[in-house]
Chains A and B, each alone.
Chain A
Amino acid sequence: MTQFLSLLLNGISLGALYALIALGFVIIFKASEVVSFTHGSLLLLGAYSIARLSDSVGFFPAVVLGTLITAAAAFLIERVIINRLRGAPVISLAIVTIGIDIILLTELIRRIGSDILNVPHPWAGKSLTIGSVGISQNRAIATLVAAVLIIVFFVAFKYSSWGVAMRASAEDGETAALMGIRLGRVSALAWIIAGVLAAVAALFLVGAPTPGVSAAAYTVALRAFPAAILGGLDSTGGALVGGLLIGLAESFAAGYQDQILFLGRGFGDVVPYVVMIAVLLVRPSGLFGTKELTRV
């Protein structure tokens, strides 16, 4: 029972971080009609900037700066490349983002080299015990921060002018433009928000129980893709549910791997994709996705 609760708690905290990344993925898709594969390198950029800057400016300023750097990078990608290609086929745009991702990733890996950079979290090494269940303080704080960000995001998405503009342009870009909504601005803002969310997720993903910033952090973002896709690529609620589902599945698969040994070791690493495929077989447009993404 204790093990179950512990895995549940860790699964939720991991899932909340996946949800942050997946949300960014979804709003970029909604605002720019791009399936953006740049998230892996943005995540790594966030983690790298925070780790490097911590040495010189201290932890908290480094978090702020690192987040700004990641948001700025996302903004630049949108302004310099994606916005200029507006109207290009979705497939070409997706491949362009893969290209950007590879370039950014290569540069980051070159800089990181074979080191494992450490982010000096003030809460590092501590853990929290709730009843008989333990969780690293890093993950506990991550869950809280992610929950706050997700709530703020959803409130803004529902009630703010940005939210209305965003949903209107996602539904019918041409008509939104006719209503005076600046599509370019909506899209740029979506990328900035996605950058911020990725940087925050990165901050916690490179803390306990994961060891430091290495190129491996990149693969974490890859697990947020199935989260976004199984939720339904154009659904923000779906990104949240998908993130949690993937986080839980991964946590349980890793925790109970002795019981599911017949599937082989390391099943936890592939389970996000297995869950995604299983969901898509039953619901091809994801749990909450719009059935018909293009209209004539």
Chain B
Amino acid sequence: MLSIDALHVTYGGAVQALRGVSMDIPDGKVVAVLGSNGAGKSTLLRAISGTLRLQRGRIESGSIRLGDTDLGSRDPAQTVRLGVVQVPEGRRIFGRLSVEENLRAGGMGNKDKSAKAAAQARVYDMFPVLRERKDQRGGLLSGGEQQMLAIGRALMASPKLLLLDEPSLGLAPRIIGQIGEVIAEINRQGTSVLLVEQNATMALGVADLAYVLDVGEVSLSGDAAELARTDEVQRLYLGHDTDEPHEQAAASGKTLSRWTP
């Protein structure tokens, strides 16, 4: 479905955020991208969605293709119309708009009225709490509800590929579990998912495939369940101690301990 080939991205012409990243998101799968802060996860999603320009970033080389269409030169609105929709990091719901207006804003790229109505019904079925609060301002929802609204808003565009940027950020463990189930459900209903996460337990739990990004490069990739068993992922992302992790931490200068639910 989406294939990324040797992608190089810089900010302000100097900072190299991605250095030759290649990955494939096959049709109908959930693909997780793990990595710590600054690994280039959000940059990857910005490059796909076409919002790099807003952050003074640009694609230096490489390509992002959706089927036969090149996404590298598209603006965000066009990307949404091609069926690739992002749920941004930190939820970024429109706090002064009502829940229903937030969903309407999400459906702007969807010209077809009946498709929009169907999308809205699906969102309300998936998140009944949003229907109950449809007239409330988005800013008054709890963190978990806001994340559901952010996901629901993206679903209003009837995406073929949903991009999620750290949906677990700042949420309670129980809510993170729910988000994981929601992602699995969205995928069951036929949408491919690219899930960027620091919470490896949740991400590897729902993903079919996974990539690990490390300072702008893919350091590991493969089947999600297999990857979860590897030492490096266990140590770096799942917080299970292997041999003397703390000494290694000091030696490599990396943070080895991770919060896990």
Contacts and interface: CB of A to CB of B under 8 A. Distances in A.
Given A172-B92, A180-B80, A167 B97 contact: yes
Interface in B144-174: 153-154, 157
A44 interface: no
Contact of B97 (A164, A173, A177, A181): A164
A160 to B, nearest CB: 10
Interface in B82-134: 85-86, 88, 92, 94-97, 101-102, 104-106, 108-110
A176 B153 CA distance: 11
B88 A181 contact: no
A171 B98 CA distance: 13
A87 interface: yes
Nearest to B86: A178
B108 A165 contact: yes
A3 interface: no
Contacts of B86: 178
B101 A180 contact: no
A175 B88 contact: yes
Contacts of A260: none
Interface string B59-92: 0000000000000000111001100011010001
Nearest to A180: B109
Interface string B160-194: 00000000000000000000000000000000000
Contact of B96 (A171, A178, A179, A180): A171
Interface in A143-193: 161, 164-165, 167-168, 171-183
Contacts of A181: 77, 105, 108-109
B54 A164 contact: no
B49 interface: yes
A178 B88 contact: yes
A75 B101 CA distance: 27
Contacts of A172: 92, 94
B56 to A, nearest CB: 8
Contacts of B109: 179-181
Contacts of A174: 51, 54, 88, 92
A181 B75 CA distance: 11
Interface residues of A, number: 19
Given A161-B104, A165-B105, A167-B101, A178 B51 contact: yes
Contacts, number: 72
Nearest to A162: B108
Nearest to A172: B92
A172 B109 CA distance: 17
B94 A180 contact: no
B86 to A, nearest CB: 5
Interface residues of B, number: 27
A180 B157 contact: yes
A125 B106 CA distance: 52
A171 B95 contact: yes
Nearest to A158: B101
A175 B97 CA distance: 13
A182 B109 CA distance: 9
A292 to B, nearest CB: 12
B105 A178 contact: no
A173 B51 CA distance: 11
Contact of A168 (B76, B97, B110): B97
Contacts of B101: 164, 167-168
Nearest to A173: B54
Interface in B241-261: none
A38 B150 CA distance: 37
Contacts of A179: 80, 85, 105-106, 108-109, 153-154, 157
B198 to A, nearest CB: 20
Nearest to A176: B105
Nearest to B50: A177
Interface string A63-94: 00000000000000000000000010000000
B92 A175 contact: yes
A197 B110 CA distance: 30
Contacts of B51: 174, 177-178
Contacts of A180: 76-77, 80-81, 85, 106, 108-110, 157
Contacts of B85: 178-180
B73 to A, nearest CB: 15
B49 A178 contact: yes
A290 to B, nearest CB: 9
Interface of A: 87, 161, 164-165, 167-168, 171-183
Interface of B: 49, 51, 54, 75-77, 80-81, 85-86, 88, 92, 94-97, 101-102, 104-106, 108-110, 153-154, 157
Given A178-B51, A180-B76, A180-B109, 14 more contacts: A87-B54, A165-B105, A167-B97, A171-B94, A171-B96, A171-B97, A172-B92, A176-B94, A177-B75, A178-B85, A178-B86, A179-B109, A180-B106, A180-B108
9 contacts: A161-B104, A164-B108, A171-B97, A172-B92, A174-B54, A177-B51, A177-B54, A178-B49, A181-B109
Q: Ordered nearest first, which 4 A-B pairs have the shortest CB separation?
A: A180-B109, A180-B80, A177-B76, A168-B105
